[in-house]
Structure 1
Amino acid sequence: MAKKEHFINKQNDSMISIYQDKATIEAAFFQHSVLCQTFLPYRNPGDEVTMWQQKQGKAQLAVSCTPVLNPATDKYELAGIPYGTKARLILAHINTQAIKTQSKTIDVEDSMTAFIKSIGLATDGRTIREVKEQLRRLSASTLSVGFIDGARAVQVDFKIVKAFDLWFPKDDSQRVLWPSTVVLSDDYFNSLMLHAIPLDERALAALSNNAMAMDIYSWLAQRLHRITPGKPQFITWQALKDQFGQGYERMDHFKEVFRKTIHMALKQYPNALTRVEEVPNKGYNLSHTQPPILARNTIQIETQ
């Protein structure tokens, strides 16, 4: 209960801060637009799973894990599919550093621990191990983004990370040991420069215990400002379940969780509070509003 109360207080404090002080682009975190529409798993799909797939509208995402060489065994091993809140936060941190420095080479050693503290995560051994595990999984993953257009399929594949030391010492007792740098692949870096979505750091920190809430917030941040003013877009419950309903077989269970979770996300996006309305028994109407943070670039991928 204490942990739950901590996150509730964190969300309330963040909401007040966001209401009082509008974020600037200089204080933004960034996520790739593709991962604001299709998402990583909420939970571990299984260490033996080699590919994760998700569809949203015309866009489809596949995340594949590639073998990595373990120096302890002198064999290639599968790192697994990245998942959960920490994978999302790590990726946002790496994206942000790349955009702010305009460099494919990210200084992880000096920035990762400070980042973990800045979003309010504990820096105990367990958290550090979980962050390192997700960093390893992200580094060994390949993203495939596809779009169906009639009888044609257009697909782009790219690795996020091109090179870095994937294996860490198991002893975390002395100090936090991160690799010195992460090098992003040319394809991912160039795509990120064109399709980065700015998000409020305070919102991500407040939602850092709930992967679905982070995804809903990111989705609304890239979606609402693209809607034509005065022409709301309707999203069915089935479309929402396809997009956010990982692991939910029954629609009524999904609806119950989604209603609570979208409320959490909207508290961190004040402009959208009155722009997202449930249509009883049908779905939601989305109306135009400004994004959480104004930016020069807007995404170019249409999904629904």
Structure 2
Amino acid sequence: MAEEKKYVRTKLQEKQIESAIDIHGRDGKIEDAIFQHSVLCQTFFPYRDPGERTIWEHTQGNATLAVQALQAINPQTKNFEFVGIPYGAKARLISSYLNTKAIKSKTRIIDVADSMSGFIKGMGLNTDGHTFAAVKDQLRRLSNSVISLGYCEDGMNAKQVNFSIVRSYEFWGEKTKQPALWNSTIELSQDYFESLQRHAIPLDERALKALANNAMALDIYCWLTQRLHRIPFGKPQFVAWAALKEQFGSGYDRMDKFKAVFRKTLSMVKLQYFKAKIEEEKNKGFWLYNSPSPIEMKSISLIGLDLPK
């Protein structure tokens, strides 16, 4: 078992190195772009399964993200049942996949019947039955969730936005023998689709593929991508360890343990986003400097996307 784990780690490292070499040799173009909503680049889904909880909250600074699980119809019992809150790396990858399909096709109706298995392979995930089942589970959870984002500025005034990513969907039943394990059509909500076109963050698919098995790495990469290019030249911004733990370390009780994991994960991210200028100030936090986006902005303009400033 130890040898098997060592082998898996080595294969993951090889994939990350290969991706980094490719990214170093060629800047990201529109064909490399995969998109995430800016909200989900700053506040995130849980890393682990929240179990039977029907609402999950995460506070970061003045913003609080709440993800509420809705009930889904069970075709066998004809009863509505809670399917759970989306979590982990796969939920993040699937949401970016849906975003990308919607943006590049310019439609909020997405047919994933033939393309999801290709997406799974493209992300470097296993293509066994267990992985397909896990991806389908996360897709169903995303399709039955409401996201609320609240801002509390002065202890008295608050602003809140509620939206569902998916308006409607169709899934085959579990007894289907189709090779992809399911056929589905997903319709994004009009509000989310319009918001996505204003607030989509272009990510490099090569980087996501390399980080596909690590939810924290995906979150750090998305966070840096949406933030660094907006920092004014010559005016670096400082982020303290306490703020980083609040944003990325909800599952860690001890600061020293979180620091060790964050530093290790950040080094993985910087390998994929080598243009990210971020420097640690010992025992205090990190300085963030203006850095170019992983995807060339002029190539993104070709599809007429209104990127957030």
TM-score (norm 1): 0.94
Structure 2 counterparts to residues 238-257 of structure 1, below 5 A: 238-257=242-261
Deviation at 1:111, TM superposition (A): 1.2
Please say if residues 164 and 179 of structure 1, whose CA atoms lie closer than 8 Å, have aligned partners that are also in contact.
no
Name the CA distance, whole Å, in 2 between partners of 1:25 and 1:57.
33
- The one-letter amino acid paired with 2:192 is Y
In the other structure, the counterpart of 2:266 is 262
CA contact 1:168–1:177 (8 Å) conserved in 2: no
SS in structure 2 at match of 1:7: helix
Contact 2:197 2:307 (8 Å CA) reproduced: no
Structure 1 distance, partners of 2:172, 2:145, is: 15
Partner of 1:204: 208
| Matching residue of 2:292 | 290
Residue pair 2:32, 2:295 contacting (<8 A) in 1 also: no
The answer for the alignment partner of 1:61 in structure 2 is 65
SS at match of 2:186: strand
Q: C-alpha displacement at 1:171, in angstroms?
A: 6.1
Describe the SS at the equivalent of 1:164. Answer: strand
Q: What amino acid is the match of 1:183? A: E
Distance 2:187 2:18 in 1: 35
**1:147 offset after TM fit, Å?**
1.2
Aligned to 2:138: 134
Query: Structure 2: how far apart are the matches of 1:226 and 1:74?
Result: 49
1:19 aligns with 2:27: no
* Distance (Å, rounded) in 2 between the aligned partners of 1:170 and 1:60: 40
The answer to whether residue 49 in structure 2 is matched with residue 44 in structure 1 is yes
Given that 1:42 and 1:246 are in contact with CA atoms closer than 8 Å, whether structure 2 keeps it comes out as no
Give the whole-Å Cα distance in 2 for the aligned partners of 1:175 and 1:215: 31
**CA–CA distance in structure 2, aligned partners of residues 59 and 102 of structure 1:** 30
CA contact (8 A) 2:32 2:206 kept: no
Go from structure 1 to structure 2 and tell me whether the alpha carbon gap of 1:142 and 1:167 turns closer, same or farther (over 3 Å shift).
farther
Q: Distance in 1 between matches of 2:215 and 2:183?
A: 26
One of 183, 196, 208 as aligned partner of 2:187: 183
2:36–2:96 CA contact under 8 A, matched in 1: yes
For 1:100-119, list aligned pairs within 5 A. Answer: 100-119=104-123
1:299 aligns with 2:308: yes
Q: Could you tell me how far 1:18 is from its partner in structure 2?
A: 0.2
- 1:54 deviates by 1.0
| TM-score under structure 2 length normalisation | 0.93
* 2: CA distance, partners of 1:225 / 1:193: 18
Letter in 2 for 1:31: Q
Summarize deviations over 1:256-296 as a string: whole Å, max 9, x none: 10000011011100111xx1011111010101111111335
Report the number of matched residues. Answer: 296
Letter in 2 for 1:24: K
1:122: Cα distance to partner?
A: 1.5
Which position in structure 2 is the counterpart of 1:35? 40
Other structure's SS at 2:113 match: helix
| Partners of 1:128 and 1:195 in 2: CA distance | 30
**Counterpart Cα distance in 1 of 2:63 and 2:274:** 28
Counterpart CA distance in 2 for 1:31 and 1:170 is 33
Letter in 2 for 1:114: G
What value does the CA root-mean-square deviation take over the aligned residues? 1.3
What is the rounded CA distance, in whole Å, between the counterparts of 2:29 and 2:218 in structure 1? 19
**C-alpha displacement of 1:152:** 1.3
Q: In the aligned structure 1, how far is the partner of 2:205 from the partner of 2:40? A: 17
Give the counterpart letter for 1:79 in structure 2.
Answer: V
Asked if the contact 1:139–1:166 (Cα under 8 Å) also holds between the matched residues in 2, the reply is: no
Residue 10 of structure 2 corresponds to which residue in structure 1?
5
CA distance in 2, matches of 1:127, 1:112: 12
* Aligned AA (2:133): R
